[in-house]
Chain A
Amino acid sequence: MPDTHEDHPPLKTTPLTEAHVALGARMVPFAGYSMPVQYPDGVMKEHLWTREHAGLFDVSHMGQARLTGVSPLSAFEEVVPGDYIGLKPGKQKYSVLLNRTGGIIDDLMAGRPTSPDGTCDDGLFVVVNGACKDNDFKVIDDELAGQVTIHRLEDRALMAIQGPEAAEVVQAHVPATADMVFMDIRSMPGFGTDIIVSRSGYTGEDGYEISVPAGEAVRVWNLLLEDERVKPIGLGARDSLRLEAGLPLYGHDLDETVSPVEAGLTFAINKNRREQRDFPGAARIVKELADGTARAKVCLKVLEGAPAREGAEVADANGVVVGVVTSGGYSPILKGGIALAFVPPELKAVGTQLKVIVRGKAQPAEVVASPFVPHRYVRKV
């Protein structure tokens, strides 16, 4: 019987959907879109290729928008704990959209792209998670009504190129990106069109994220794939790469109950904002910064046995259940199980011996430093 249930609206496509199918991708539903989970090479090879060469990702399901208004930077600070008034032209900053109890509605990137002449207006270019975007922009619109106008850029595709050879590939096409460093963002001509390009990504590798007009996406995608250093990479490897990089995934490691302090994202709460206490949930967050939290996010390496995946219980050395894995899997680089987990703060020190319970078996695991695999961001050129 055909599935005509109302809960399953037809999946949306990105400007690159047909290109993925043509490449032999296995398509799956993700964030309401039909997205490539893997190409014929498979997750393992795609993961390792990205760590060794350059991987190309379609992330067009993510929400892109421009926020404009009288003073959008200061208005934006009403919904996030980051210092955006102090954000320099040409830079972007990671932050979290907070609810009134200090829980995370979404994590995001917001930046001030500069034009080739070095100028920049005070508008903000914001990129949020695909599964959260409609709610995010509604929250921003509700909270900042009359202060900012949200221009959703649904006519633009977004791709990420990541890995040690990504920079050379991009710079061969757009030489003007060569002097960018990690978290720089610019609006410029490139690939024969107009691009918004940042030196960033979510794999722990050097690379760029490139926003292009939807109608140019297939051409730019294919142009990048012509380079033999570049292969297309699906969501499967995107997930294992971000996990090795110790980066949280919304809906798994982060949700509306988790504060940025619990999530280990205190770097995103700037000092001046802590003093001003003027962001949603500030009372809770400032208290947690001073007094600590009931749970702490840790990186776990599974020392023996099966990978511990989301939902697996974490026990202390005596076998008492004390926490839970929020995302976990197999690390192709470390060749074993790795996980992000919540544990009581007294068990968060690197070197702490714990257990992960997988299918009823208690397997040894150890708290290790984040990230699992070193970041290779380029901070100086």
Chain B
Amino acid sequence: MRFTKDHEWVVLEGDVATIGITAHAAEQLGDVVFVETPEVGKTVKAGDAFAVVESVKAASDVYAPISGEVVEGNTILGDAPETVNADPENGGWFAKVKVSDPSQYDALMDRPAYEAFLETQ
């Protein structure tokens, strides 16, 4: 699993990346009440806002950590957005993206690097 400074995580299996927000991000947001996942077929560029997560208080963008084409959104989040809080780094995934440049994955932080980054925040 790799991480961004915007608190997204990515797991790459073959050329498909599963993307979500980190446990830290979920904790900071508080109770998630609505999630908008990207449409299947949409092309995203690393750094683009590609999903939205909302708490009682505010809506926050989720940025694509990696470029590619969206192949699946997590439909469970439509009825059960609270899954993001309950299981942020697994069942609460947002979308799967068929990546165009796998080297982007290697450029992201690993967990020790992300945890060190959190210490600086």
Contact = CB atoms under 8 A, between A and B. Distances in A.
Contacts of A306: 34, 36, 52, 54, 59
Given A38-B30, A306-B34, A330-B33, A44 B59 contact: no
A332 B56 contact: yes
A330 B30 contact: no
A240 B54 CA distance: 14
Contacts of B54: 306-307, 330
Interface string B35-77: 0100000000000000010111111000000000000000000
B110 interface: no
A44 B30 contact: yes
Contacts of A337: 34
A44 B31 contact: yes
Interface in B1-53: 30-31, 33-34, 36, 52
Given A306-B36, A309-B59, A329-B57, A359 B30 contact: no
Contacts of B56: 43-44, 47, 236-237, 240, 329-330, 332
A32 interface: no
A43 B59 contact: no
A329 B34 CA distance: 11
Given A306-B52, A359-B52, A43 B57 contact: yes
Name A's interface SS. Answer: mixed
Interface string A319-337: 0000000000110100001
Contacts, number: 45
Interface residues of B, number: 12
A339 to B, nearest CB: 13
A239 interface: yes
B39 to A, nearest CB: 11
Contacts of A307: 33-34, 54, 59
Given A38-B30, A43-B30, A44-B30, A240 B57 contact: yes
Interface string A32-46: 000001100011110
A75 B63 CA distance: 56
Contacts of B59: 306-307, 309
Contacts of B30: 38, 42-44, 236
A359 B57 contact: no
Most A CB atoms within 10 A — which of B36, B54, B57, B58?
Answer: B57
A307 B30 CA distance: 16
A332 B30 CA distance: 13
A364 to B, nearest CB: 15
A45 B85 CA distance: 14
A145 B111 CA distance: 65
Nearest to A235: B57
Interface string A222-252: 0000000000000011011000000000000
Contacts of A330: 33-34, 54-56
B31 to A, nearest CB: 4
Given A306-B36, A309-B59, A329-B57, A43 B52 contact: no
Contacts of B31: 42-45
Nearest to A42: B30
A329 B55 CA distance: 9
Nearest to A237: B56
Given A306-B34, A359-B36, 16 more contacts: A43-B30, A43-B57, A44-B30, A44-B31, A236-B30, A240-B56, A306-B54, A307-B33, A307-B59, A329-B56, A329-B57, A330-B33, A330-B55, A330-B56, A337-B34, A359-B52
15 contacts: A37-B57, A42-B30, A43-B30, A43-B31, A43-B57, A44-B31, A44-B33, A44-B56, A47-B56, A240-B56, A307-B34, A307-B54, A309-B58, A330-B54, A330-B56
6 closest cross-chain pairs (CB), A and B: A44-B31, A42-B30, A43-B56, A330-B33, A236-B57, A330-B56
